[in-house]
Structure 1
């Protein structure tokens, strides 16, 4: 009789205490000249609605009106407006 070793599939190890940063983003009106983007500020998690013109190869920093830091970096020609809104992702 032959004994076979059963290998478990690779599973990356994650520390349960490890913080995983991510940012919620939803893009609307992609086929329009002005796109709307709903997202959370990277720093304070404030919900924001930005209107931007066009897609570009240049990176624009969008400041958060609540905390004043860079909320998100977008590849766009111009940021028309950024408005604080309740975050759709917060309970």
Structure 2
């Protein structure tokens, strides 16, 4: 979002009702909490990435789901994915 669009949003806040302001505040808080939680989860998992099922450290980045990095085991017999929340 560019600065002009952001300023328009800020200016429009004065036209919101109290109920709308509370709803907006709740939405912003929820988004901030989600973003902070995802960042914490990504940072907590540590430097060594291993597949929880087999302990194999030969993994590679796969996709991102719900803004969390998923990894895929390179062992042919497993080939499952995991992220910081869903270990299997």
Please give the TM-score of this superposition, normalised by the length of structure 2.
Answer: 0.23
The structure whose RCO (Cα within 8 Å, separation 6+) is larger is 1
- Greater share of residues in helix: 2
- Greater share of residues in strand: 1
Please give the TM-score of this superposition, normalised by the length of structure 1.
Answer: 0.23
